[in-house]
């Protein structure tokens, strides 16, 4: 095994001290032009490559960022990661990834791992929006934190979110405007402790929910669904609200079938995210339903196939790449020492109208 070359090797060959070689190679402090060239030449000859570990140990900075998301395989997170990766790459930062599978225990372990590896900061999509003890005090410990997709109660750090309530309200309002009165919603609706849907709807209707409530995206989208009904003076039928309970297309597929089997089935469907959308479309495909003739459909997240799945799926497109980029930018600023108050970047989802929405038959 070829021994790795160190600064000492370079210094010896160049006939200078390790301190001087370090100054040249590390680009700090003074160095005469002649010395400089000598050192560079020696380094090149030996194939010297700096050891970031040693450097980090002393500087206390690793130029590495950790990311904790639910599942890299999911297109939503994959795009976010790409956005993050692009921005970090521009700054010469490394990117350490982990996935939580939306499981608190795994998330805690992931954060622990990143901490041991001394990341300068992390971007987390937390699976618990209430407790999250493992995320508190990170900034105080010198590790910058940016939340993405979800907020955490009482955790005041930079975050990047989609304006879920508005996007969902807009989507559902569009269905109502097309003439639909019975609109089914297929949502995850996981993890709310006071998680009774009926109770939640009552709170929305009474206006006792505030934007500060650290809700999961799917609950926020349900909120938008209820608000659209309120705005149109329509009652919400609890039978049309289907809860998948997990992040899995098949759960959504099952719920969709249940919805369509109702005595008074909906004439339009709203799916609250990419995973749910996939499940819903699977169910519609199972039944060979013709969109938008038999049923109207409005989805969430713009997945590849939505553009060419005939007749084109109308959807609320989250700016996934931009979300990742924004999170990375916020993080880089903090790592660079910015001490501004915490920021909340709320990005709008764009309603892309394609062919899956029409007046009811």
Partner DNA sequence: GCTGCATCTGCGAGCGTTCTCATAACAAGC
Partner DNA sequence: GCTTGTTATGAGAACGCTCGCAGATGCAGC
Interface residues with DNA (CB under 7 A) are 4, 6-8, 15-20, 22-23, 25-26, 28-36, 48-51, 54-55, 57-59
- Selected from 30, 33, 34, 116, the binder of a copy of itself by CB under 8 A is 116
Q: Which of 83/184 has CB closer to a copy of itself?
A: 83
Task: Check residue 51 for interaction with a copy of itself (CB under 8 A).
Answer: yes
Q: Which stretch binds a copy of itself (CB under 8 A): 26-34, 173-181, 233-241, 277-285?
A: 277-285
* Contacted entry of a copy of itself, DNA, none for residue 98, CB cut-off 5 to 8 Å set by kind: a copy of itself
Q: Does 285 bind a copy of itself (CB under 8 A)?
A: yes
Q: What are phi and psi of 160, to 5 degrees?
A: -125, 120
DSSP 8-state symbol, 123: E
Quick one: which segment of 144-152, 170-178, 192-200, 281-289 binds a copy of itself (CB under 8 A)? 281-289
Scan residues 192-251 and list those touching a copy of itself (CB under 8 A): 249
**HSE-CB for 292 with a 13 A CA cutoff:** 23
Neighbours of 265 (CB within 10 A): 15
Q: Which is nearer to DNA, 18 or 103 (CB)?
A: 18
Q: Is 337 in the site for a copy of itself (CB under 8 A)?
A: no
Residue among 136, 102, 141, 134 at smallest CA distance from 118: 141
Stretches 51-59, 125-133, 161-169, 206-214: which one binds a copy of itself (CB under 8 A)?
51-59
Q: Which of the listed partners (DNA, a copy of itself, none) does 23 bind, with a CB threshold of 5 to 8 Å by partner kind?
A: DNA
- CA gap 68, 108 in Å, rounded: 10
45 versus 199: smaller Cβ distance to a copy of itself: 45
Per partner kind, with CB cut-offs from 5 to 8 A, the member of DNA, a copy of itself, none near residue 315 is: none
Does position 142 bind a copy of itself by CB under 8 A? yes
What six digits make up the tokens of 226? Answer: 């209820």
DSSP-assigned states of every residue in 62-96: --EEEEEES-TTSHHHHHHHHHHHHHHHHTT-EEE
Q: Which of 321, 340, 329 is nearest to 162 (CA)?
A: 321
Write the DSSP symbol of residue 60. Answer: S
Question: Is the Cβ–Cβ distance between 268 and 314 less than 8 Å?
Answer: no
Residue 212 binding: pick among a copy of itself, DNA, none (C-beta 5-8 Å cut-off by kind)? none
β-pair type (314-317, 350-352): antiparallel
Picked from DNA, a copy of itself, none, the partner binding residue 8 (CB below 5 to 8 A depending on kind) is DNA
Distance of CA 280 to the CA centre of its chain: 22
**Residue 289 and residue 184 in contact, taking contact as beta carbons nearer than 8 Å:** no
Q: What is the distance between the alpha carbons of residues 176 and 183, in angstroms, rounded to a whole number?
A: 8
Site size toward a copy of itself, by CB under 8 A: 56
Contact 147, 155 (CB under 8 A): yes
Cα(109)–Cα(98) distance, integer angstroms? 10
**Quick one: which of 193, 308, 337, 340 contacts a copy of itself (CB under 8 A)?**
308
**Of 287, 319, 285, 316, residue with least CA distance to 300:** 316
To DNA, the closest distance from the beta carbon of 141 in angstroms equals 12
Task: Give kind and range of the element (H or E) at residue 160.
Answer: strand 158-162
- CA atoms of 159 and 136, how far apart (whole Å): 14
Q: For a copy of itself, what does the binding mask look like between residues 76 and 115, x meaning CB under 8 A?
A: --xx-xx--x---x--x-xxxxxx------------xxxx
- Options 19, 57, 338, 346; binder of a copy of itself; rule CB under 8 A: 57
Binding site for a copy of itself (CB under 8 A): 1-2, 4, 49-54, 56-57, 62, 64, 71-75, 78-79, 81-82, 85, 89, 92, 94-99, 112-118, 137, 140-142, 249, 278, 281-282, 285-286, 288, 303-305, 307-310
């Amino acid at each position: 095994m070829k021994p790795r070359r160190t600064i000492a090797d370079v210094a010896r060959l160049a006939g200078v001290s390790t301190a001087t070689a370090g100054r040249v190679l590390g680009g700090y402090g003074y160095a005469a032009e002649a010395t400089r060239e000598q050192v560079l030449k020696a380094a090149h000859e030996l194939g010297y490559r700096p050891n970031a570990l040693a450097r980090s140990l002393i500087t206390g900075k690793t130029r590495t960022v950790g990311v904790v998301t639910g599942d890299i395989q999911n297109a939503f997170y994959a795009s976010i990661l790409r956005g993050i990766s692009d921005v970090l790459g521009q700054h010469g930062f490394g990117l350490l990834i982990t996935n939580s599978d939306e499981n608190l225990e795994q998330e805690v372990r992931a954060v622990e791992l990143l901490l041991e590896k001394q990341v300068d900061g992390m971007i987390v999509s937390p699976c618990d929006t209430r407790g999250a003890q493992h995320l508190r005090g990170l900034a105080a410990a010198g590790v910058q934190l940016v939340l993405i997709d979800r907020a955490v109660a009482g955790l005041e750090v930079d975050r990047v979110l989609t304006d879920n309530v508005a996007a969902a309200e807009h989507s559902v309002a569009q269905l109502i405007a097309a003439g639909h009165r019975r609109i089914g919603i297929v949502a995850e609706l996981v993890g709310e402790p006071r998680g009774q849907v009926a109770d939640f709807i009552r709170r929305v209707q009474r206006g006792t929910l505030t934007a500060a409530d650290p809700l999961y995206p799917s609950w926020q989208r349900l909120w938008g669904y209820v608000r659209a009904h309120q705005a149109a003076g329509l009652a919400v039928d609890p039978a049309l609200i289907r809860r998948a309970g997990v992040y899995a297309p098949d759960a959504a597929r099952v719920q969709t079938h249940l919805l369509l089997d109702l005595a008074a089935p909906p004439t339009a469907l709203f799916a609250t995210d990419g995973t749910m959308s996939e499940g819903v479309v699977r169910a519609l495909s199972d039944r060979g339903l013709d969109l938008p003739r038999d049923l109207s459909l409005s989805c969430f997240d713009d997945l590849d196939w939505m553009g060419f799945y005939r007749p084109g799926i109308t959807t609320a497109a989250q700016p996934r790449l931009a979300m990742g980029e924004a999170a990375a930018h916020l993080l880089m600023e903090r790592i660079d020492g910015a001490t501004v108050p915490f920021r909340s970047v709320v990005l709008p989802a764009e309603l892309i109208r394609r062919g899956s929405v029409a007046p009811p038959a």
